[in-house]
Amino acid sequence: MLKLGVPSKGRLMEQSGAWFAEHGVVLRRSGASREYAGAVEGVAGVALVLLSAAEIPRELAAGRIHLGVTGSDLVRETLSDWPAQVAELAPMGFGHADLVVAVPRAWVDVETLDDLDAVAAAFRARHGFRLRIATKYHRLVREYLRAHGVADYQLVDSQGATEGTVKNLSAEAIADIPSTGATLEANHLKMLRDPPVHRSQATLFAARRADWSAARAPMAALAARLGVAIPEGL
C-alpha cells in the first residue's frame, strides 16, 4: 500500500484535491469530517493520510508516508540536506508564497543585501550587539544571508505576528512570508530589492527512506496518471 499525505484542512487541502482530480485521481476523506484518513479513487493500492502541512516533511523524512503534498519552504526549512531525504516530483502551481527580508521604511539608504550588511556592521559597532532579524525560517534565512555575504546579524525566533516585532523593538528587521503587502506597509516595513529568500509553492514530494517494496506498483500507476517521473532509487 502506498501512503499519500495531503494537508488536512484549508485551501491547501481543497487545492490539492482539485489538482489530483484534474489528473483523474479523486481524494476522499473516510467517515466523519474529523477522521484523518481516506481513500484514493482512480489508482488501486493508494491510501490517503491527512496531516498538517507542517507535519508532512517530517513524516516523509521518517518514511511513514511515501508521498506528500506540502510547501517547498517547509521541506527546505524542516529537513537538513533535504534532497537526500525527499525527492521533488512536481510543483503543483498553487500555494505560492515568497519568503522575503524586510527592513524599516525609515532606513532610506537600505535597499539591498549589501546595504543591510553595511548597516549590520555599523549597528554592532554602535550598540555592541548584532542586528536582530525576526523569523521562524532560521535555516532558510541563515543559508540565504551567508550566500550573500551578510554578517553581524542574529536571528531571533518569531512564531507569529513577525511584522510587528520591529515596532515592538524586539528586532530591527524581519524575514517572513507576509500575508499581503499591506501588512508590511501597516508596520512601516519595506522589502529589499534582492530576490526573495525562497519562492515557495505546494509541491509533491516522495520519501527516499520509505519502504517501497509493496508500493512500487501503485506508484507506477499513480505516476503515469500524474505525468511525473519516478526518481531513481525508489
Q: pLDDT, tens digit, for every residue of 45-88? A: 999 999 999 999 999 999 999 999 999 999 999 999 999 999 99
Res 37: pLDDT: 77
Could you tell me if 114 and 160 lie in one domain? Answer: yes
Quote the number of domains for the chain.
2
Residue 213 lies in a domain: yes
Number of neighbours of residue 63 by Cβ within 10 angstroms: 15
Residue 139 lies in a domain: yes
Residue with grid cell 550587539, as numbered in its chain: 129
Residue 56 lies in a domain: yes
Strands (DSSP E) found in the chain: 2-7, 26-29, 37-41, 46-51, 67-71, 86-91, 97-104, 131-135, 153-157, 173-176, 189-191, 198-200, 202-207
Q: What is the mean pLDDT of the chain?
A: 94
Could you tell me if 79 and 32 lie in one domain? Answer: yes
What average pLDDT does this structure show over 4-12?
A: 94
Res 234: pLDDT: 84
CA 228 vs CA 64, 84, 90, 129: distances in Å: 21, 19, 7, 49
Res 183: pLDDT: 86
Could you tell me if 9 and 21 lie in one domain? Answer: yes
Residue 159 backbone dihedrals phi, psi, to 5 degrees: -105, 5
Residue with grid cell 515596532, as numbered in its chain: 167
Residue 233 lies in a domain: no
Residue 82 lies in a domain: yes
Q: What is the pLDDT of residues 188-220, one digit of tens each?
A: 999 999 999 999 999 999 999 999 999 999 999
Res 148: pLDDT: 97
Could you tell me if 9 and 66 lie in one domain? Answer: yes
The answer to whether residue 34 scores a pLDDT higher than 70 is: no
Could you tell me if 189 and 215 lie in one domain? Answer: no
Q: What is the pLDDT of residues 165-184, one digit of tens each?
A: 999 999 999 999 987 778 89
Residue 234 lies in a domain: no
Residue 231 lies in a domain: no
Could you tell me if 113 and 182 lie in one domain? Answer: yes
Residue 55 lies in a domain: yes
Query: Where is pLDDT greater, at 55 or 31?
Result: 55
Could you tell me if 37 and 129 lie in one domain? Answer: no
- Domain limits at 187? 97-199
CA 80 to chain centroid: 13
Res 38: pLDDT: 83
Could you tell me if 186 and 134 lie in one domain? Answer: yes
CA 47 vs CA 25, 42, 109, 203: distances in Å: 12, 11, 54, 19
Euclidean distance between CA atoms 121 and 131, whole angstroms: 8
Res 6: pLDDT: 97
Q: What is the pLDDT of residues 9-23, one digit of tens each?
A: 899 999 999 999 999
Whichever domain contains 52, its CATH number is 3.40.190.10
Q: Which three cell numbers stand for residue 132?
A: 536582530
